[in-house]
Amino acid sequence: MTAKVIRVSSNDSAEVIRQCLQVLESINSDSSVPRNIRRSVNEIMDILNNESEPLFLRAASSISILEDISNDPNLPLHTRTLIWNLSSQLETIPVDE
């Protein structure tokens, strides 16, 4: 079975970033999320909003932080699921933009 490659246009990538920022904002406002996780979420939001960096680099940096967050034993399960979904969405951003 061959896998289909789906190209994401720059407009779609911008939409992915916008949606991810919304989810990050909801995590940030969740009082059940530990403070250190919310601090990391703020860092990711700053990275994604930094338009002086290439989009793929912002996505890769964010994914790296999300992976670290997902391994935190104090992370609530519902937030861990959101973190995994965010990583999956950010992985759709192509490197060649």
Q: What is the pLDDT of residues 21-48, one digit of tens each?
A: 999 999 999 999 999 999 999 999 999 9
Judge whether residue 1 has pLDDT over 90: no
Q: What residue ranges do the domains of the chain occupy?
A: 35-96
Mind listing the pLDDT tens digit for each residue in 41-82?
999 999 999 999 999 999 999 999 999 999 999 999 999 999
Instruction: State the architecture of 35-96 in CATH terms.
Output: Up-down Bundle (1.20)
Res. 6: pLDDT tops 50 = no
Contact (CB, 8 A) for 38 and 44: no
DSSP conformation letters of 20-70: HHHHHHHHHT-TTS-HHHHHHHHHHHHHHH-TTS-HHHHHHHHHHHHHHHH
Residue 4 tokens read as: 């289909």
Residue 10 has pLDDT above 90, yes or no: no
